[in-house]
Amino acid sequence: MSLFRSQSLRRRLVLISLITTGVTLLLTNLGYISLEYYLNKRDTEKKLQVLGNVIADRIPSAVTFSDTALIGSNLSTLKSDDAIVRGCVYRKDQTLIGSYYSPAYQRTDCPNYLPRVGTLTTYNLSEFFPVKKDEETIGTLYIESSREQLLERFFQFMLFSLGIMAAAIGMALLLANKLKDVISTPMRELSDTLTEILNKGVYSIRASKTNNDELGDLVDLFNRLLTTIDDENQSLKASEERFRKLTALSPVGIFQVDPNQNLQYVNQRWRDIHGLTNDHPDLQDWFEMIHPKDLVNIQEAWNRLVLDQDSIALELRLVRSDMTYTWTHLMASALHDQDGQLLGYLGAISDISELKAAQVQMETLAFFDPLTGLANRRLFKNRLVTSVKGAIRSGKSMALMFLDMDQFKRVNDTLGHDAGDVLLKEVSNRLSNTVRENDTVSRIGGDEFTILLTDISSVQDVRAVADKILKAMAKPIRVKGQDILTSVSIGITMTPDDSTDTNVLMKNADLAMYSAKEQGRNNYQFFSEDMNHSILEHLAIEKEITEAIERNQFTLFFQPKISLFDYRTTGVETLIRWQHPDKGIITPDSFIPVAEETGQIIDIGNWVLEQACRQISSLIRKNIMPADAKVAVNLSAKQFTDPKLAEHIRNVLEITGIPPRCLELEITESTLMDDVEAAISIMQEIKTTGVSIAIDDFGTGYSSLSYIKRFPIDVLKVDRSFVMDIPDDKNDMAITAAVIAMAHKLDLNVVAEGVESDEQLQYLRLNNCDEGQGYLFSRPLSLAQLHQYLVIAAERRTNSYEI
């Protein structure tokens, strides 16, 4: 193959033509010769078959009577075929009875026994024919024919084919030479034209077109390619000129270095940045201008550029002749041609002195809180890492305090954000005055602060600082002419006792701070593993609540509310239970607080509202519950402040078909008192839906009449804590009686919770309490149990009427 490729195009065309013609003719002649041989052989075999069948049909009688003369007479008919070599007739016992031998061939006797015929070695054609009489084989005829005539005709045909092949190859050679001239002449002209263009470097020369075939199209393409190259060459020259003009006007210093480390080109801006005026600056002079502190880095980077062709991108300082330095940004990379050969190095250098100064100023601002001047979160984290490493090296302790202002949001919302800013500044000043100079006070966001206490000898030192902080915060702060009392909740963690991981320390301090808030605010708590266990348990419950919502594990129970005048069922209070697959029934006290904190209470509350209305509505439609019965549903604080609450209530009423008068929403007193004006506005919007509103757990919170009379409510529920001690506690009895009287004065219905004894019932009836609920009447019931309870209650009333 390599020898063929080394030949000229002309020779390859001739060789291809000859090989193609020769192989085609050879395959064709082989096919024809094989076919001729096959047909002649088939004709010979047919002729032999006819002769054998004729003789076999004539000699049965002769074989039966062993008439050799008659057998010989019949075998003599084989003389009609010159190709027959011999014929043999055998009896039934396979012994020879007659034979024929052709004089044209060497005499070959027939074997005396038929089995020996099969052992004969011959290239002739042979055939066996049974001799039958009355369908019984009485002998065998064997005939042998020569292949000489067949082979003679085969060789004659082969000689004829070889002659034709020789003539065809000669003609193909003649045509190939002609084709060679047709193709090679235009190609040679193209080659001559290209050689001339390369020698002269003139791309305006064009090849002449002599044919209108594919070769002519090739000439056209060649000339078009020359035109394109000529245009691109002109464009390249124009681009080079523009590049030189742009580099001369560029605000960036541009330079080019050859492979021998010589500066080939620098633009004017490069000279201005370096303060050089000589026309041919030296690369070594440039290295000498680099600031000593940056020289090692640039030399290493330059070596990588030269040895490994790694690009450079770094900042460095250049020392000018007046000993001032300029901050610059250097970029450089290697240049290669299309074959990968190194052409040199191209680079750009920019003056970033102003940018660097701005960066320093921005970094300074980025590390400090603009309002209080304290370290911000970024600087705090940096110093936390440094302090932890220092504590590990020195063997001493370090304390991290996490502080959160108590009730800051209320001040911010009531007095405005400017008042909140004044408060934050004063708190920052007091915190800074309570610690040493080497400690760090940071404001990490909103009303959250951190303090790093380094070189701590004992826990008592930390306690002393915490006490000092609480004492400093106890003093009133004057804001907008008002004295404001503020406090902080402090979480404290120590290193290395608690951890040496900064993220863990932050988490620990945060947990301890939330523990301080749970302890009533305005105190400090040290981190303990119990806190960590508590938060992990909290997270586990949160995850299980999510799964419970997705898997519909919650169910509803209903506790009947009874009229204390005629003991009829006036409604039910909806209670949620969690049917945990592993823990069984879980009461709300175990998961509702977590759901409140995580916001999951919104989904849970919406589900409870819809399901309660749907289930009780079905009982009302079936006349199992009275048409004016009410289903009471508790609203959480987060539900109450949900902007879409009224819209959701309307949707539930429409979906479930329950009359608005049959739905009662219970809201705790503490929820309403967080923001009274906002609560009034929300309740007024709820009232537009037509549902009733009840205040739950009344008497345990603020219980201010000035607020109660402003609330658009319908029902007061007396908390079970007042009912449970009747008649033992006279104070509770007095409070309960007063609440009932006050509610009636305000035209409110009163419901007593936790009624469990006849004495309690009688006292409530004596004071005209409207309704009651508790274990005296019924425990919380499932929907099916409530159905049964209502049916039985109805039957009892019917029976009492009949009596």
| Residue spans per domain, the chain | 11-152, 250-358, 367-527, 544-802
For the chain, the average pLDDT equals 82
Decide: helix, strand or coil at residue 459: helix
| 577 pLDDT more than 80 | yes
Q: What SS3 class is residue 322?
A: coil
Nearest alpha-carbon partner for 344 in 280, 283, 259: 259
Residue in this structure with the two tokens 């002195």, named with its chain if needed = 353
Residue 180 has pLDDT above 70, yes or no: no
- pLDDT > 50? residue 803: no
Place of tokens 């069984």: 584
d(CA 127, CA 774): 121
H-run or E-run covering 674: none
pLDDT of residue 243: 64
Looking at per-residue pLDDT, the higher value among 69 and 772 belongs to 772
pLDDT of the residue at 8: 58
Quick one: which H or E segment has residue 100?
Answer: strand 96-101
Return the structure tokens found at 27.
């395959």
Q: CA-CA distances (angstroms) from residue 63 to 54, 70, 549, 787?
A: 15, 9, 109, 118
Split at pLDDT 50, 70, 90, the class of 521 is: confident
- The CATH number assigned to the domain with range 367-527 reads 3.30.70.270
Give the pLDDT confidence of 607-638 residue by residue, as tens digits: 999 999 999 999 999 999 988 899 999 998 88
- State the SS3 of 758-800: HHHHHHHHHCCCCEECCCCCCCCECHHHHHHHHHHHHHHHHHH
Q: DSSP assignment of 182-244, as one string?
A: HHHHHHHHHHHHHHHHHHHT-TT--PPP--SSHHHHHHHHHHHHHHHHHHHHHHHHHHHHHHH
Q: What is the reported pLDDT for 759?
A: 93
Please write the tens of the pLDDT for every residue from 363-421.
667 788 888 889 888 889 999 999 999 888 888 889 999 999 887 877 776 677 888 88
Tell me what pLDDT residue 266 has.
83
Domain 250-358 class? alpha beta
- DSSP 8-state class, residue 147: S
Say whether pLDDT at 68 is over 80: yes
Range from 94-108, 166-180, 326-340, 549-563 carrying the lowest mean pLDDT: 166-180
Is there a contact between 692 and 673 (Cβ–Cβ < 8 Å)? no
Higher pLDDT, 180 or 678: 678
Residues 6+ apart with CB under 8 A from 8: none
Q: Which residue has the higher pLDDT, 302 or 701?
A: 302
Report phi then psi at 691, rounded to 5. Answer: -90, 165
- Residues 427-484 have pLDDT tens digits of 999 999 999 988 999 998 888 999 999 988 888 989 999 999 999 988 888 887 788 8
Report, as an integer, the average pLDDT of 2-11.
56
Residue 107 has pLDDT above 80, yes or no: no
Identity of the highest mean pLDDT range in 5-14, 194-203, 228-237, 573-582: 573-582
Rounded to two decimals, the pTM is 0.45
* Class of residue 786 by CB neighbours under 10 A (exposed 0-12, middle 13-18, buried 19+): buried
Domains 11-152 and 250-358 share a fold: yes
Give per-residue burial for 615-653: e unless 16+ CB within 10 Å, then b.
bbbbbbeeebbbeebbbbbbbbebbbebeebbebbeebb
Kindly report which listed range (28-32, 125-129, 435-439, 612-616) carries the lowest average pLDDT score: 28-32
Q: Which of 200-209, 475-484, 647-656 has the highest average model confidence (pLDDT)?
A: 647-656
Please state whether beta strands 692-698 and 715-718 pair in parallel, antiparallel, or not at all (unpaired). parallel
- Residues 596 and 601: their CA atoms lie apart, in Å, by 5
Query: Are the beta carbons of 789 and 567 closer than 8 angstroms?
Result: no
The Cα-based distances of 461 to 195, 220, 400, 436, 735 in angstroms read: 95, 96, 13, 12, 49
Nearest by Cα to 615 from 554, 542, 567: 554
φ and ψ at 95, to 5 degrees?
-100, 150
Q: Is 118 helix (H, G, I), strand (E, B) or coil?
A: coil
Nearest to 637 by CA among 595, 596, 677, 697: 596
CA distances from 575 to 230, 237, 782 (A): 90, 88, 10
**Topology given in CATH for the domain delimited by 544-802:** TIM Barrel (3.20.20)
Segment 549-559 shows an average pLDDT of 90
CATH number of 11-152: 3.20.80.10, 3.65.10.10, 2.20.25.10, 3.30.450.20? Answer: 3.30.450.20
Amino acid in the structure at residue 467:
D
Question: Whole-angstrom Cα distance, residue 575 to residue 260?
Answer: 89
- 345-349, 527-531, 612-616: least confidently modelled range: 527-531
Per-residue pLDDT tens over the stretch 483-519: 888 889 999 999 888 888 888 889 888 888 888 887 8
- CA 536 to chain centroid, in Å, comes to 29
pLDDT at residue 705 tops 70: no
